Structure 1
Amino acid sequence: MKLICVLFAICLAVHGLPRNLAPTIVTEVPPEPTHPMDDPNWVPPTGPTHEKDREYWLATGQNRLRQQIAHGSDLNLRVAKNVIIFIGDGLSIPTLAATRVYMGGEEQELSFERFPHAGLAKTYCINYQVSDSACTAAAILMGVKNNYGTIGVSGHVPLHNCPLSLLESNRLTSILAYAQQDGRSTGIVTNTRITHATPAVAYAAAGARYWEDDTELPATGGGCQDIAYQLVHGAVGQNLTVALGGGSRHFYPAGTVDGNGEAGRRQDGRNLVDEWISAMAERELRARFVHDRAGLAAIDAGQVDRLFGLFRANHMSYHLLADQSREPSLAEMTASALQLLKRNDRGFVLLVEGGTIDPAHHANLARLALDETVELHRAVEQAVSLMETGGDQQETLMLVTADHSHTLTIGGYPVRGNDILSTGDFSRLDRMPFFTLTYANGMSYFDHFYETGGRRNPADMVDRHHEPTFTFPAAVPYEDETHGGDDVAVFARGPWSHLFSGLYEQHVIGHGLLYAACLGPEEFERSEACRERIRGAASTTTGCCWIALMLSSLFLVWRGVG
């Protein structure tokens, strides 16, 4: 026993007490209070005066409830003669919330947030947890989930596989293709390249979203066609009534320029714009190609059968950075498209993509992402106004959603009414404020962190945070801020819009659109209104056949008498 005590004493002398037995000795002086709430004279912020009364919340809650009850008791079960699909590329739920504040306050509403029905969609691809715009567009426009990066083909086609993408059994059919088969007009409007992933899915099939022109096709070729070629010569592309967006470089050969002086990049020497004009002339269609805002504004919808517009070589410019005298806005392009499409008595399907939200997020440019969301809000507002003015709202299904999310977050405890683009809270740990908007990853990491570690002080940046090109902080360095894997919102109004309530897989959107519009294969579910429409069309066709037969008989009798 004595030996054990001696050994223990020696151990203590050499090593001291074990950590879990050693007393805690405070050697550092606690930092002075730096957070506003640590100030003994701190007063909590106050909200708007009228919101302090419980009567305000009771009245507004009951008012909203009455609206919901009315929507539930008066469901629109008509056939959706017209379908307008708005896709905000990268329009995450935090982006929506931040945009409301950017527009004027937490209580603001975007135009489509007033739609009567809303839901959530799960956005993963069949092979990726976090999706891209290609596989998500297939879910929305085709009702089928597929592989990351592939355009309009089933999950049996791996990325970059040309031979398998050519098999008819692997090809998918978009709602625009079904609409054309039904005699309806179709259109695409985007402020990205019109060959970019989301719009491409509407009319093309390719083993990779990157095959926008012939320079990106596999070296072997293998019979695959680039996406721009398919817009001009493909079965769906050549029958589009309207196609407006950017991406002219994919339609012009290298060594030439478009109408705005921007260079083409095709290596096959083909001028696809000229080929489109020639093809329309051969079909005796009144076609117009435009390359600027003035040209689009000069279009007389009553004098044009087909409209094609390419306004930039790459994506169209961000609204805040655009030459607005030259580039039309998303709302203006939407209005021009609707004026043409509404001429078809059978109806139409229009895809509108607010696509520049996505590249803004990828570059950690939060202000531009929010402003581009406002542009989508205005385009939806324009469409609602035009359809209501024409009395078509009861036959028009409008759906607004995102293809996928992003890593933008709204954090801290900023007070009500705080500038969403500014700092909103303070860290007691590094004694510096931090921005309300932050990203999980991206290149802006290097703008906000020292190479040796530690944050740069945002207080030194507050004079720049409203600049459109100011990058918001990212927690992890990454060459291009990534998409997010969280669910996205879906908003709907019009016939069968209640189908889009709840939480569901993203491809269910595609099936809901086809059902509402009375489109798709015969084996798909049909509403009673749809079956009546089909029966009416069949009886009309039968009646026309009988009339033709009678006229033919009378003509033969007349010839015999003569």
Structure 2
Amino acid sequence: MKILIPKALCLAMTLCAINAVASVLPSYQTSDQWFVDAKDVVEQRNNLVADTNKAKNVILFVGDGMGVSTMTAARILQGQMRGETGEENFLSFERFPYTGLVKTYNTNQQTPDSAGTMTAMATGIKTKAGVLNIAPNGLRGDCDSSKGFELTTIFEYAEAQGLSTGVVSTARITHATPAATFAKTPERNWESDDKLTDEAKAAGCTDIATQFVEFGKGDGIDVAFGGGRRHFLPKDVTDIEGKAGKRTDGVNLTEKWQEKTQGTYVEDKAGFDSIPADATKVLGLFNASHMRYESDRANDVAGEPSLTEMTTKAIDILNKRGDKGYVLVVESGRIDHAHHAGNAYNALKDTLEYANAINAAKELAGDDTLIMVTADHGHVFTMAGYAVRGNPILGKVVGTDRSGNPKSELTLARDELPYTTLGYTNGLGFRNLGSETNADASYADEPITGRHDLTAIDTTLPGFHQEALIPLGSETHSGEDISVHAVGPGAAYVQGVIEQNSIFHIINKALGLNAE
């Protein structure tokens, strides 16, 4: 016989059941710090008021190549650098109240590249890999096919509404991610005119550096810091560090930019530190190519500012440009490059500097600023091996015994060799390992030798390359989702699993621009 229970009685019975379970929890469980802390976090979430207010400013942070495994390893490294076990640590932005996951594929590739992914964030639509702000109708590397399919970027739309704009990167300003804020080209590698094909020249395409100078209907982007001097200088001109430019058209774009904007141009740390207090238009190009890894920055010939210094300076400059607000994009570009080299040390150290820059921005920016932190894609970077808690994240695996206690010796693989917690699915690490390895070196001519005995090798040194399963000339991107974190007005729109192009629409919604 089916027994019907009144709804009110059913609810009361359910509550009683819950209370009964709670009452049997032992005190040593409910007083445990893990229990107490987790309960507090849930209560904080319960009291969180969804922030859908209008933002005056937006800062979009992009950690190039910063997948979830990179964040995990970086937070552990940061904690261990403070003398902690590390796993319990949080990076600055991981405590932001809103978090989501982002799908990163391009329209033609399951595993994406930075041009297609940043175009999605900058324009609101997905497109092909390798193209910047060209709809998927166009073909990569084909200028004529791109005509009529140029996309309007978030910077163009913001400037049309009277907002100021800025871009900061540790990569070349003409590189894919920063270039996606201003350039429209079917080929991301057309950074200066020396790379333009005959077809591109005949069809009227211009290089990315030229597009930076010519950007906008006014005097262009208000503040830009990064590398890439060589693409702004003629090949017969040498820069402050004695490196020649790449341009074949004889145009010195740094001079052209100054003539157009009457702005301040700087090339080194001294120039950066001497930017006039009243400057509201600034271009800083601090290296011929990419800027240095954070761990190597002190060795730069002319000196470079850190990502944190560039970020805070950019915010300071943009704040002086009036009360209409701004859109700032900040990229930590060399996380990606270190991963391509199979070098976890520099990928993690640059991630930590990225987290520092975000923390500094949060302290400097007002409550009227939406800060979003994300990546463009991940890498085939892994963290595995059952290492004991607190084991050096850059070290070799030491596991636990049958009782759950740390072992006294390294864990060995089936080939009787030790291995590191961090590794790569593919890349250079298959063929060459050693503490003397340079993270930027090429080993294309060396024999494939397989696994090395790491017993006597210090795997925590800056130049060590982690092992890789599949031998390739460069480690590749990965195709899994990356994360996005947000705080400030409009942050509540960052929830769930979203397509990457949704980030453009979140920014527009938060700013109240309602782009159509």
TM category (shorter chain) comes to: 0.7 to 0.9
Asked if 1:117 corresponds to 2:98, the answer is yes
Would the aligned equivalents of 1:230 and 1:237 in 2 still touch at CA under 8 Å? no
d(CA) in 2 for partners of 1:101 and 1:258?
A: 40
Asked if 1:305 corresponds to 2:305, the answer is no
d(CA) in 2 for partners of 1:504 and 1:520?
A: 19
- Equivalent residue of 1:339, what SS? helix
**Residue-by-residue CA offset, 1:193-234 (whole Å, 9 max, x unaligned):** 000000111001001000000011112312100000000012
Aligned residue runs from structure 1 range 123-134, under 5 A: 123-134=104-115
Asked if 1:273 corresponds to 2:267, the answer is no
Would the aligned equivalents of 2:175 and 2:191 in 1 still touch at CA under 8 Å? yes
| Distance apart, 1:460 and its partner CA | 2.8
- Equivalent residue of 1:119, what SS? strand
Match of 1:43 in 2: none
**Residue-by-residue CA offset, 1:257-298 (whole Å, 9 max, x unaligned):** 1233221110111100001111123xxxxx100011121111
d(CA) in 2 for partners of 1:305 and 1:448?
A: 48
Q: Which amino acid aligns with 2:356?
A: R
| Distance apart, 1:323 and its partner CA | 2.5
- Equivalent residue of 2:180, what SS? helix
d(CA) in 1 for partners of 2:448 and 2:215?
A: 54
d(CA) in 1 for partners of 2:433 and 2:257?
A: 48
| Structure 2 counterpart of 1:380, from 358, 361, 378 | 358
Would the aligned equivalents of 1:249 and 1:264 in 2 still touch at CA under 8 Å? yes
d(CA) in 2 for partners of 1:202 and 1:403?
A: 14
Call closer, same or farther: CA 1:123–1:236 in 2, change over 3 Å: farther
d(CA) in 1 for partners of 2:217 and 2:78?
A: 38
Call closer, same or farther: CA 1:110–1:277 in 2, change over 3 Å: same
State TM-score, norm by structure 2.
0.85
Would the aligned equivalents of 2:108 and 2:129 in 1 still touch at CA under 8 Å? yes
d(CA) in 1 for partners of 2:271 and 2:265?
A: 8
d(CA) in 2 for partners of 1:518 and 1:396?
A: 13
Would the aligned equivalents of 1:88 and 1:357 in 2 still touch at CA under 8 Å? yes
Would the aligned equivalents of 1:134 and 1:151 in 2 still touch at CA under 8 Å? yes
Aligned residue runs from structure 1 range 53-64, under 5 A: 55-64=32-41
Call closer, same or farther: CA 1:107–1:132 in 2, change over 3 Å: same
Call closer, same or farther: CA 1:79–1:428 in 2, change over 3 Å: closer
Match of 1:98 in 2: 73
**Residue-by-residue CA offset, 1:238-268 (whole Å, 9 max, x unaligned):** 4211011000000000011123322111011
Match of 1:323 in 2: 298
| Structure 2 counterpart of 1:466, from 449, 455, 460 | 460
Match of 2:339 in 1: 361
- Equivalent residue of 2:257, what SS? helix
d(CA) in 2 for partners of 1:177 and 1:83?
A: 14
Match of 1:80 in 2: 55
Q: Which amino acid aligns with 1:60?
A: D
Aligned residue runs from structure 1 range 241-256, under 5 A: 241-256=222-237
| Structure 2 counterpart of 1:293, from 269, 272, 277 | 269
**Residue-by-residue CA offset, 1:149-204 (whole Å, 9 max, x unaligned):** 0001100111101012232xx11112111110110110000000000000111001
d(CA) in 1 for partners of 2:312 and 2:244?
A: 29
Call closer, same or farther: CA 1:232–1:454 in 2, change over 3 Å: closer
Match of 1:13 in 2: none
Would the aligned equivalents of 1:178 and 1:520 in 2 still touch at CA under 8 Å? no
| Distance apart, 1:496 and its partner CA | 1.6
| Structure 2 counterpart of 1:457, from 444, 453, 458 | 453
Q: Which amino acid aligns with 1:315?
A: H
Q: More displaced, 113-122 or 423-432?
A: 423-432
| Structure 1 counterpart of 2:179, from 200, 208, 217 | 200
| Structure 2 counterpart of 1:429, from 414, 426, 434 | 414
d(CA) in 1 for partners of 2:510 and 2:415?
A: 55
d(CA) in 2 for partners of 1:293 and 1:203?
A: 25
Q: Which amino acid aligns with 1:330?
A: L
Match of 2:190 in 1: 211
Call closer, same or farther: CA 1:311–1:236 in 2, change over 3 Å: farther
Asked if 1:187 corresponds to 2:172, the answer is no
Call closer, same or farther: CA 1:304–1:428 in 2, change over 3 Å: closer
**Residue-by-residue CA offset, 1:406-461 (whole Å, 9 max, x unaligned):** 00000110000000111115245212221100000111211259968652212132
d(CA) in 2 for partners of 1:259 and 1:183?
A: 35
Would the aligned equivalents of 1:115 and 1:491 in 2 still touch at CA under 8 Å? yes
Q: Which amino acid aligns with 1:485?
A: G
State TM-score, norm by structure 1.
0.78
Asked if 1:347 corresponds to 2:325, the answer is yes
Call closer, same or farther: CA 1:444–1:237 in 2, change over 3 Å: farther
| Structure 1 counterpart of 2:384, from 407, 411, 422 | 411
Q: Which amino acid aligns with 2:141?
A: H
- Report the structure, 1 or 2, having the larger helix content: 1
Question: Structure 2 unaligned runs (5+)?
Answer: 1-27, 80-85, 399-410, 435-445
| Distance apart, 1:300 and its partner CA | 3.0
Would the aligned equivalents of 1:245 and 1:310 in 2 still touch at CA under 8 Å? yes
d(CA) in 2 for partners of 1:424 and 1:314?
A: 36
Q: Which amino acid aligns with 1:216?
A: K
Q: Which amino acid aligns with 1:229?
A: T
| Distance apart, 1:140 and its partner CA | 1.2
| Distance apart, 1:52 and its partner CA | 9.0
Question: Structure 1 unaligned runs (5+)?
Answer: 1-50, 282-286, 524-562
Match of 1:543 in 2: none
Would the aligned equivalents of 2:393 and 2:422 in 1 still touch at CA under 8 Å? yes
| Distance apart, 1:70 and its partner CA | 2.1
d(CA) in 2 for partners of 1:446 and 1:452?
A: 5
Q: Which amino acid aligns with 2:463?
A: T
| Distance apart, 1:236 and its partner CA | 6.7
Q: Which amino acid aligns with 2:52?
A: L
Corresponding pairs, count: 455
Match of 1:447 in 2: 432
- Equivalent residue of 1:239, what SS? coil
Would the aligned equivalents of 1:262 and 1:312 in 2 still touch at CA under 8 Å? no
| Structure 1 counterpart of 2:509, from 512, 515, 529 | 515
d(CA) in 2 for partners of 1:477 and 1:519?
A: 48
d(CA) in 2 for partners of 1:482 and 1:205?
A: 25
- Equivalent residue of 1:243, what SS? strand
Asked if 1:143 corresponds to 2:124, the answer is yes
d(CA) in 2 for partners of 1:484 and 1:348?
A: 32
**Residue-by-residue CA offset, 1:481-512 (whole Å, 9 max, x unaligned):** 00000100100011121111111111111111
Would the aligned equivalents of 2:93 and 2:358 in 1 still touch at CA under 8 Å? yes
Larger radius of gyration, structure 1 or 2?
1
Match of 1:332 in 2: 309
